[in-house]
Amino acid sequence: MCNSGGCNKLAVFDWLANMDIPSGIKPFDGVEVRFKNSRKHFFKNVSNLDLSVGQVVAVESSPGTDIGVISAVGEIARLQMDKKNVNFDSPDIKKIYRRATEEDISTWHNARKKETETMHASRKMALDLNLEMKISDVEYQGDGGKATFYYTAEERVDFRQLIKVMAETFRVRIEMRQIGARQEASRLGGIGSCGRELCCSTWLSDFRSVSTSSARYQQLSLNPQKLAGQCGKLKCCLNYELDMYLEAYKSFPGPNTRLHTELGRAVCIKMDLFKRIMWFVYEEQMVKIPIPLDVDDVHEILAMNEKGKKPADLKDFVEVFAKEGPDYDNVVGQDSLTRFDNLTTRRKHRKKRKSAHRPDQDQPNEKEQSGGNSRRKSRKKNDDKKKQHPQAQKSAKPENTSPRRKNDEPKKNSQNNPNRKKSNKTTQSRSKSSGEKSLGNTPG
């Protein structure tokens, strides 16, 4: 029943469900019923109805009828009543009317839908009347004829005028209940700093007093932001391990223990209950270097001081432990978190392999064959011309095939020497005449 707002709140595990009742014993008539959030009450099954956990029932209320969900039946309900010191024969215990019908459930759901709107409206009314109170939750009865307002306040509040305004506005019977900060957190629920649901809303039913001495015994920093829960009070979990710490402290000397040595007096600055180690520093030394000592060695030194003896130095009692390696062999090599840090990065772009090693280029294509034949023919023609005209080839200068850059400027010597142009013209004319003579001598 997640829509009821009571999921996982003070749930009861029925560990007697698979056990049969001995013959001749009448089943227990008490039933535990859960209402909104963590509110639970015990009722009598007067009509001997066949009830089970999770069923929705209509129960007696004052006044009218209320709707709830059964959380425990049978012997588990008897154990719950004994745990909470509830007398089953008391006339205050009300009875169960019937299993809830569809009409009862629809009326219950319609009343539950009004709760959020009613809570915001009531908060606004309290602010208008300048009342120092915080309305944290509103719960409508199953038949919609009564509304219970839960509030927290540091001092006593006179809310008589507030009840009149609420009764005129909501047209229901009004009931005000003052709760503490821890009860408020228990009803509303939430997630704690440990990542789990709040203990007070899931299983914790008795709220014991928590003091700062429990944090001191556990050597916790007295930071109110870390030690306080959602209720604004000290966390209840500070008492869970307190007994174990108090038992461990019995074998330790006091925190104000002082050891006398030949080098001076040493004072305790820190204790580790789990490793049974105490750290001491010399008072007279300028550089305070903590010296770890075992609890048994501390007791031995204290016994020596009582007899009037002083050890030479506390460092003589320090035990040096060799670091033990793991009992297994790291065969795979995947246990180190830094195994990928020192790997060399491979080059993404490798050099191309030679064409001779590639199988695709072993046999040339037809286009490559035709291109090679044309090149061979042109080379033969050029060789024949060189043989026929050897003088022209010697006299002709090789032309500069490299393209000239746009930004290249002519040399200053060519601009300053006008006679150099004439010499260039004469060399060109001489080369032309020698070429014509050579061509004239060749047979036609």
Cis peptide before 403 (omega within 30 of 0): no
**Cα(30)–Cα(94) distance, integer angstroms:** 10
**Residue 173 — φ and ψ, nearest 5°?**
-75, 130
C-alpha dist (Å) from residue 156 to 131, 177, 289: 10, 12, 56
Taking the chain (444 residues) in runs of 10, the rounded mean pLDDT of each run is 53 80 83 89 91 92 91 90 88 92 94 94 94 93 93 91 94 93 89 90 86 90 90 92 91 89 90 90 85 91 91 85 67 64 56 51 50 63 62 48 48 48 48 45 42
Question: What's the confidence (pLDDT) of residue 225?
Answer: 87
Average model confidence (pLDDT) across the chain = 79
**Cα(12)–Cα(32) distance, integer angstroms:** 10
Give me the amino acid identity at 438. S
pLDDT tens for residues 268-297? Answer: 998 888 889 999 999 888 778 899 999 999
**Cα(434)–Cα(181) distance, integer angstroms:** 120
Question: What's the confidence (pLDDT) of residue 111?
Answer: 93
Q: Is-above-0.75 flag for pTM?
A: no
pLDDT tens for residues 365-399? Answer: 554 455 555 666 667 666 666 666 555 444 444 44
10 Å CB burial of residue 221 (0-12, 13-18, 19+) is exposed
174 touches 166 (CB < 8 A): yes
Number of alpha carbons in the 13 Å side-chain half-sphere of residue 97? 14
Asked if the domains 110-179 and 252-317 are classified in one and the same CATH topology, the answer is no
**Residue 192 — φ and ψ, nearest 5°?**
-85, 180
C-alpha dist (Å) from residue 373 to 60, 208, 361, 369, 376: 112, 105, 18, 6, 5
73 DSSP β-pair partners:
31
pLDDT tens for residues 127-171? Answer: 999 999 999 999 999 999 999 999 999 889 999 999 999 999 999
Angle at the Cα of 253 from the Cα atoms of 217 and 236, rounded to 5 degrees: 10
Instruction: Please name the helix (run of DSSP H) or strand (run of DSSP E) that holds residue 305, with its range, or none.
Output: helix 295-306
Query: Which position has the token pair 């074998």?
Result: 251
Domain 252-317: give its CATH code.
2.30.30
Question: What's the confidence (pLDDT) of residue 432?
Answer: 46
Query: Which position has the token pair 């700062």?
Result: 212
pLDDT tens for residues 116-128? Answer: 999 999 999 999 9
81 touches 71 (CB < 8 A): no
Question: What's the confidence (pLDDT) of residue 23?
Answer: 79
Question: What's the confidence (pLDDT) of residue 408?
Answer: 47
Residues of the chain with pLDDT > 90: what percent?
A: 40
> Which CATH number does the domain 110-179 belong to among 1.10.1760, 3.90.550, 2.40.50, 3.30.300?
3.30.300
Domain extents for the chain?
A: 27-100, 110-179, 188-248, 252-317
**Cα(208)–Cα(222) distance, integer angstroms:** 20
